[in-house]
Amino acid sequence: NAGVTQTPKFQVLKTGQSMTLQCAQDMNHEYMSWYRQDPGMGLRLIHYSVGAGITDQGEVPNGYNVSRSTTEDFPLRLLSAAPSQTSVYFCASRLGDANEQFFGPGTRLTVL
């Protein structure tokens, strides 16, 4: 199993550009989540999904969209990048609500 994979690992955007961060898992997990991690702030939940076709907002959803058309994939779209979105983004998945959460290696995003 590859576990949770994320692409790209690094990305630099200009303000106003859009892009999609890819996330995939091969463990047949129902739950998938996107977090951003900023210094001193810990991980903050952006969006999450409890199964294909179901998504919901987390703590900091503004400026981001998600979709879950398959169990395996959970892409995160930045609609119009802003410098405040400079962060490290982690995708995670888990089998059930209270199970261990597995993280991807992260995407380091810089918005100029």
DSSP 23-38: EEESS--SEEEEEEEE
Q: Does 8 bind another protein (CB under 8 A)?
A: no
Smallest separation, CB 10 to another protein (Å): 12
Kindly tell me which of 18 and 57 has the beta carbon lying closer to another protein: 57
Smallest separation, CB 73 to another protein (Å): 18
Buried b (16+ CB within 10 A) or exposed e, 23-61: bbbeeebbbbbbbbeeeeeebebbbbbeebeebeebebb
Residues 46-105 that bind another protein (CB under 8 A): 48, 58, 90, 92, 97-98, 100-101, 103-105
- Candidates 65, 68, 85, 87; CA nearest to 77 is 65
Q: Does 36 bind another protein (CB under 8 A)?
A: no
Q: Catalog residues that contact another protein under the rule CB under 8 A.
A: 33, 35, 40-45, 48, 58, 90, 92, 97-98, 100-101, 103-106
